[in-house]
Amino acid sequence: MDRVNPATGEALGVVEADDEAEVETALETAAETFETWRDVPLAERENLLSNAADVLRENETEYAELMTEEMGKPLAAARSEVEKCAWVCDYYAEHAGEHLQDDHIGTEPGVDSFVAYEPLGPILAVMPWNFPFWQVFRFAAPHLTSGNVGLLKHASNVPGCAAAIEEVFREAGYPEGVFQTLLVGSDLVDDVVEDDRVKAVTLTGSERAGRAVAETAGAELKKTVLELGGSDPFVVLDDADVEAAAATGARARTINSGQSCIAAKRFVVHTDVYDEFVEAFVAEMDALDVGDPTADVDLGPQARADLMDDLHDQVERSVAAGAHVELGGEPLDREGFFYPPTVLTDVPRDSAVAEEEVFGPVAPVFEVADEAEAIDLANETDLGLGGSVWTADRERGTRVAREIESGTVFVNELTKSDPRLPFGGVGDSGYGRELGAMGIHEFVNRKTVWVQDAEEPADGPAGE
């Protein structure tokens, strides 16, 4: 696997990919390990997860520097990512027992009827490069603790991160085979999904990749969870705190140098505050520092040259369609793959930045006449992952949030994932949920159990 430092364009050391024999060994190891791991007491699995949180904190600098080197994340943001991974480990180390305890349901006198949550087996996780630690840990923390074993197929530009994550679990004391990394290209994913030893698949990535994995898994009748990106609206209503909305909006658009599924992608602003918002928002975006991600900057490079080229193509097509560049709009003339904070106004609603997911620090701003139009425009996408609503009226914010068609909506805050809350999308943003109690229940057998004395048959209808 060839790697390039996105801040310099210089080649990094080549990482050898696994061959078919190594993949076969990993699959066999996963299947064998599951048979013993599933019987390890839950309290022991929770303790191991707590150990993983300790390993993450102890090696925060090393892991952060690795992320920055492979995909260009600013070092401060990379440190925060490691801390968030430790948080999700802490959360499930404390709450997995609560989420996985038998759920007793009253039915008949003398009958003990309950739902038990039992692991499925080896789970394949196909993960992207943009949050190379967090998106893996939000899968691994709940699902290893529920008794499954994990197989990670990570993005090909972050193999060092993939290997480091496997090392985290090894250092935490997990048995060999509970979590393994498969250093393979996308061409081998279908074969792994089809393998009888793999019981389910989770994928975070593009809509195209999600459809391909879902088709293969569906043919094998295997459970999938998909998180496929978003085109999140950032709605600023006429009674919003404009300065606060502009400041948070700039952060929401440029988190991870704009390379986030739940970044604010489309700014929908009421006409009464439109001019004030645009002026404040452009100023906030213009104040952001872009540069060497190992220094104290707000934005680093885009992760790959082709990603920067695709982003600029979206801007050029939108400008050709009539959008006006308020700020930025051209790649920076320097080594590496740097694109500046960019703000577009007068954006046609059928232009590229309106209709496509924009994965970089480019913010199209749309003017709307009223709340109803704001909701309509917010919902003019098939990518229903997240959204943000800004208003001084909590009841109004709640009402508008309910109208936005997405898996997550935050009022007077940027959209974010939280270990305590379910996370996922609707429509072309995928299905299923990660995190919280709902997340840990995605890859378990929710087994109904009915227990009664042999001499006391219960009354009731039979059959399906």
| Whether 270 contacts 370, CB under 8 Å | yes
Query: Rounded to 5 degrees, what angle do the CA atoms 23, 26, 31 make?
Result: 130
CA distance 443 to 225: 9
Pick the catalytic residue from 46, 227, 326, 405.
227
Examine the residue annotation and report whether 89 is marked as an active-site residue of this protein. no
The 10 Å Cβ neighbour count of residue 2 is: 11
Provide the terminal-to-terminal Cα distance of the chain, rounded to the nearest Å. Answer: 52
CA distance 147 to 440: 11
For 314, the token pair is 């979206």
Pick the catalytic residue from 46, 261, 284, 326.
261
For 403, the token pair is 């109208």
Examine the residue annotation and report whether 85 is marked as an active-site residue of this protein. no
Query: Rounded to 5 degrees, what angle do the CA atoms 135, 137, 141 make?
Result: 140
- CB half-sphere exposure, 164, CA atoms < 13 A: 21
CA distance 433 to 143: 12
CA distance 5 to 23: 28
* Residues classed as catalytic: 227, 261
